[in-house]
Structure 1
Amino acid sequence: MTALPDWMRPPREEGWLADDLDHLPEAPRHTELIDGVLILMMSPQRWWHGEIVDSLKSALKEVAPSGFRVGREMTVRLDERNRPEPDLVVTTAPFVPDVTWFAPEDVQLVVEVVSPESAHRDRAVKPRKYAEAGIPHYWCVEEENGAPVVHVFELEKECRQYAPAGIFREQLKRPVPFEIAIDLDALVG
């Protein structure tokens, strides 16, 4: 077994904090913080995943009204010990070139495209954390016979939990967070 590089050692006894992610230049590009633990993306990305993320980002940008921006692979600082990196974020934050994370109050929608290595986090861990932080909309995109299936959730504000709002195949039409109509089959076509 080889020794851990110095950058992988927490800077304090109580572990990692959200702001520490901005000071890890040697860490893999897609490093997240979940419950004070670094999550390193080490497995190769599947082509399907990248195509869905790119195509869905373009589709959302096309329909997003003024005041909304669509970002890819930017972390959301949920609290001191949680800074996950959704595949896509729809935000109302103004564009600031040097920003490395979004505040949850500026995020209207997070989208996770499920990969084998992230399936549990995307289906169980992250939705709970996004809901607790008050993010109004969550989409979990799964693969079904090569086609995307989008599981849509809306925040129930009183209990800070997501309620299912539909499962979409072929076409996704939603009135929130703005009018959305996306041909899901075209995302990989």
Structure 2
Amino acid sequence: MTAAVFGHDGPWTEEEYLALGETQQRVELFDGSLHLTPAPTPRHQRISRKLGNIFETAAEAVGLELLEADNVRLRPGRIPIPDLVVTDPVDLDELVIEANAVHLVCEIISPSNAATDKVLKMHYYAAAGIEWYLLVEQETGALRLYRRQGSHYAEHSTTTRGQTPTLTEPVQATIRPEDLVS
């Protein structure tokens, strides 16, 4: 189906992927294969906006950037589009953000894409050396924060309704799950 959508046969190179330009779908590149997902739900987008507002203020306070739905090159040929990233200052006109500039990546788990966020992307982000990975459950707003240990992530904290964690790295932020989903 991907080949039919984009008129392409065989594995995709990074150059071919980037030549697609902006698309209506979220299209990610994983080792020669395109991964398409439908547009996020309004709930997903609202959580992303609320979380982005919290992280933007916190990131700016320490000289970092908060970016939403941007191409992140984990290595040549592997470019996901995370929901949110906290990065070093980057060239805002570049097509991709290099993984070594990313301090934290956040994925809001979509029911149709949960395995990709919880397994595939988690593995890829850790292998690329991204220190922090935050997963957010859409239904409950539960937050699972992971910190890289070697080439994988270990759970750092889990926060559910009624709890108010304060993130201290890579930015300082207080996130209440109920604020994200109400």
RMSD of the alignment, in Å?
Answer: 2.0
Give the alignment partner of residue 58 of structure 1, picking from 53, 57, 62: 53
Displacement of 1:24 in angstroms is 0.8
Distance 1:26 1:184, change over 3 A: closer
Identity among equivalent positions (%) equals: 28
Structure 1 residue aligned with 2:141 = 148
Alpha carbons 2:84, 2:105 under 8 Å: kept: yes
2:156 alignment partner, SS class: strand
Hey, what's the Cα distance between the residues in 2 that align with 1:22 and 1:73? 15
Alpha carbons 1:172, 1:184 under 8 Å: kept: no
Unaligned 5+ segments in structure 2 are none
Alpha carbons 1:56, 1:187 under 8 Å: kept: yes
Hey, what's the Cα distance between the residues in 1 that align with 2:7 and 2:80? 17
1:120-157 residue CA offsets vs partner (Å, 9 max, x unmatched): 100000010000000000011113xx43001100011x
Structure 1 residue aligned with 2:87 = 91
Displacement of 1:18 in angstroms is 2.6
Structure 1 residue aligned with 2:20 = 24
Alpha carbons 2:26, 2:39 under 8 Å: kept: no
Structure 1 residue aligned with 2:179 = 186
2:141 alignment partner, SS class: strand
Displacement of 1:44 in angstroms is 4.4
Hey, what's the Cα distance between the residues in 1 that align with 2:22 and 2:131? 33
Structure 2 residue aligned with 1:76 = 72
Alpha carbons 1:18, 1:79 under 8 Å: kept: no
Alpha carbons 1:28, 1:40 under 8 Å: kept: no
Give the alignment partner of residue 121 of structure 2, picking from 112, 119, 126: 126
1:8-43 residue CA offsets vs partner (Å, 9 max, x unmatched): 415xx5x212333221147434110112211112x3
Alpha carbons 1:152, 1:165 under 8 Å: kept: yes
Alpha carbons 1:18, 1:77 under 8 Å: kept: no
Displacement of 1:58 in angstroms is 0.4
Question: Which letter does structure 1 place at the counterpart of 2:154?
Answer: A
Q: What are the within-5 Å matches in structure 2 for residues 33-52 of structure 1? A: 33-41=29-37, 43-52=38-47
With normalisation by structure 2, the TM-score equals 0.88
With normalisation by structure 1, the TM-score equals 0.85
1:73-132 residue CA offsets vs partner (Å, 9 max, x unmatched): 0011011221000000100033x2321211011000000001122111000000100000
Question: Which letter does structure 1 place at the counterpart of 2:122?
Answer: P
Displacement of 1:71 in angstroms is 0.4
1:4 alignment partner, SS class: helix
Alpha carbons 1:148, 1:185 under 8 Å: kept: yes
